A = this chain, B = another copy of it.
């Protein structure tokens, strides 16, 4: 370690910090070893594989430094859990790496740990390990989530087949519109609608229950994080197929429908905006009834929005608005790039 920077600040040392804020979240899971050993120990149910994913977020890039700490923690948990949900995985455990600015206060950590604890409990995904360090830069967090899936039942991005029906869970577009609300936009909407969109953006609902209910029923799946069109494109690219969806079939919340009624050009934002964390999947059409029933059983509506087709020459994903094929480039305006 290069810099022996021992700035006292307002925080306790690393060991005490872990003991005070994070060990309580791990206490119920024996394999966490109280966050006091070199590793955590996890077991897989026989006949299962481990699904592992990691996501990093940075203050100023993925959230604002003064966002509520509980929500920062919860969104980080949820974007990772959503990746597990897309593969039909049951969450097992998570590890968290925190790079904390030296100005971090105990009150901030209290609130962050509270949000983390609540969501680890909500998704039955105990915190089992982690690392805490100081940084001279913005708050940076990386969560690794692990789950388990039955062997041979993982709906990979590469599993879509021509003729499959394309489904999506919940409603699409709320994430991107909610981001606009967070930035002070969409003032033309009534407050309850704005609140709905903001909440959907800040606190997505990963579809773990639906992912489990769809085990064995579907061929390919992804969660909608980059945007419906882009994520469908990921499935098409991985599967070597094309897709055709009807814009009119894409399910939207009342708030999103109202936003579109005020400004129809927002359709592109709905279809290409990210951060919805709904499940997008392809399945044999003969499974449609069972899939819709699976959604009803877990309380998450599922909507058929199109079909997997042979790869069209002009690009993988065709979005039809009525009889018109929307020009894909128009739909790409909202694409987010880190670099």
Chain B nearest CB, measured from A173 CB (Å): 15
Contact in complex: B43, A50 (CB < 8 Å): yes
**Besides A7-B339, A37-B158, A102-B339, 17 other CB < 8 A contacts?**
A1-B275, A2-B64, A5-B61, A39-B83, A41-B49, A41-B50, A41-B51, A42-B50, A44-B44, A54-B97, A56-B98, A56-B133, A58-B134, A58-B135, A62-B133, A136-B137, A144-B144
Contact in complex: A11, B128 (CB < 8 Å): no
Also in contact, A14 and B131, with CB within 8 A (given A37-B238, A38-B53, A53-B40): no
Q: Hey, which chain B residues are within 8 Å of A58, CB to CB?
A: 99, 133-137, 140
A299 CB-CB contact with B under 8 Å:
no
A36 CB-CB contact with B under 8 Å:
yes
A306 CB-CB contact with B under 8 Å:
no
Chain B nearest CB, measured from A85 CB (Å): 9
Give chain A's interface residues, CB within 8 Å of chain B. Answer: 1-9, 11-14, 17, 31, 33, 36-44, 46, 49-58, 60-64, 83-84, 86-87, 89, 93, 95-100, 102, 128-138, 140, 142, 144, 146-147, 149, 154, 156-158, 179, 182-183, 222-223, 234, 238, 274-275, 336-339
Number of copies: 2
